[in-house]
Amino acid sequence: MTQPTDPAAARAKALEMIKDIRVAMLVTHDAVGGLRARPMHALQTDPDGTLWFFTKGHTGKTSEIAADREVLLTYANPANQDYVSVQGTAAVRHDPAMAERLWTEEARPWFPEGAQSPDLALLQVTAISAEYWDGRSGAMAGLFGSVRAALTGEPEQTAESGTARF
């Protein structure tokens, strides 16, 4: 596996990989120190590593975040063999203008009154670091990597991985 050495390139790579993945698993710490994961519909990924999600304002997850802001998000695109985990800090925001801007009809089953739903809140995750595994080349990369390895005697490299700091 290869790993870019340029920090800006690593950040850009991680953000590019997650921008089209619609569901992330959000991991929080529960009241007794355990870990809880739940799926979250990704709304937006900002260039600075800020990630946005809708949530209900009063849930177990919002209580857990109030007690411990450290979270982990995991993204997966198995079709491309792309995987990213993002460590960050979370905050629950009540910002009607931002909610309106990010509104999507896919959220209506949870928020029937739209962006003005009384219990609608935004979950803002500020990325601290990300790890990624990009196997996007898939089977063809494996084939070409095997041929290249056989011809050159160098180890096969069919995927790229890296760590990004924000």
Number of domains observed in the structure of the chain: 1
* Mean of pLDDT values over 58-66: 97
160 with 3: CB under 8 angstroms?
yes
CA dist 129 and 159 (Å) reads 20
Rounded to the nearest 5 degrees, what angle is found at the Cα of 118, between the Cα atoms of 28 and 60?
A: 20
Residue found under tokens 């209900």: 56
- CB burial of 74-84 (b: ≥16 within 10 Å; e: otherwise) equals bbbbeeebbbb
Task: Assess if residue 2 is contained within a domain.
Answer: no
In a domain, 110, yes or no: yes
Q: Note the pLDDT tens digit of each residue in 119-157.
A: 999 999 999 999 999 987 554 455 555 555 566 666 655
What's the CATH code of the domain at 74?
2.30.110.10
Report the chain's mean pLDDT, rounded to a whole number.
90
Rounded average pLDDT over 57-69: 97
